[in-house]
Amino acid sequence: MEWNASDYGENAGYVAKYGQEILSLLSPQPEESILDLGCGDGELTKVIAAKSPNVMGIDSSPQMIKKAKERGVNALVMDGEAMPYENKFDAVFSNASLHWMKNSDAVIDNVHRSLKPGGRFCAEMGGEGNIKSVVAAIYRGLKKIKLSGEEHNPWYFPNQEEYAEKLKKAGFEVKSIIEFSRPTKLPTDITGWFITFAQPFLNDIPSDQQENFLQNIQQDLAAKLKNEQGEWIADYVRLRFLAFKK
């Protein structure tokens, strides 16, 4: 999807803030070579670089990589599903990105190949049931205009057992894997969130109907996600894991 780096800054600032815990699990060391897979605008890559200067970010979005480079991060445009590295990194890190890569088997194989023996894969992504009420409202909105939610859904939110199985099958030893809810306060509202994160659902909606579609979703979700203070709290679920290449 096309990312807009400036409204990402407004609507997604919490992504890096919540990334601190997964960074502690990574525990980057000065001499290590680290890949940040799906680095987005490079905010966390820069934090890693302060501890492990030999870190590189990749992301499939040229807009995001431009922003990451402006921050001074070593970054390049590359898709995790087509990553060619072999035996190169001590660790592969990923925060809030793997759920955009629907070909998860290819991604896990690519990460495994790119790691040195004993290297680690440390990541957090959306888990099963992530933003469940948002997805349901989008599907309802699309159904009303005779479009399929399933066909436009860009995300993969696996459960813990399924993902652990995939990691093991690819040759990882899974040290830890947990799934937990993380209700997340949005900086604006669900429309702002949608514009930043859910554009693929708009692909087949004529442009003169998109505003109405977004208003319907906002109305549909207000009772569930908007609290008495008028804040929007999204029903995020995280899947967090640490696995080692055998």
CB of 156 to ligand BEZ, least distance (A): 10
CB of 237 to ligand BEZ, least distance (A): 8
3-state secondary structure (DSSP) of residue 216: helix
Nearer to ligand BEZ, 184 or 216 (CB): 184
Closest residue (Cβ) to ligand BEZ?
A: 126
CB of 95 to ligand BEZ, least distance (A): 9
How many CB atoms within 10 Å of residue 143?
11
Nearer to ligand BEZ, 123 or 164 (CB): 123
Q: Which residues contact 13 (CB under 8 A, 6 or more apart)?
A: 187
DSSP E strands: which ranges in the chain? 34-37, 55-59, 75-77, 89-95, 115-126, 172-185, 233-245
Look at residues 8, 103, 181, 78 and name the one whose alpha carbon lies nearest to residue 92. Answer: 78
Interface ranges with ligand BEZ (CB under 6 A): 96, 99, 126, 130-131, 155, 197, 236
Nearer to ligand BEZ, 80 or 126 (CB): 126
CB of 29 to ligand BEZ, least distance (A): 27
Nearer to ligand BEZ, 80 or 119 (CB): 80
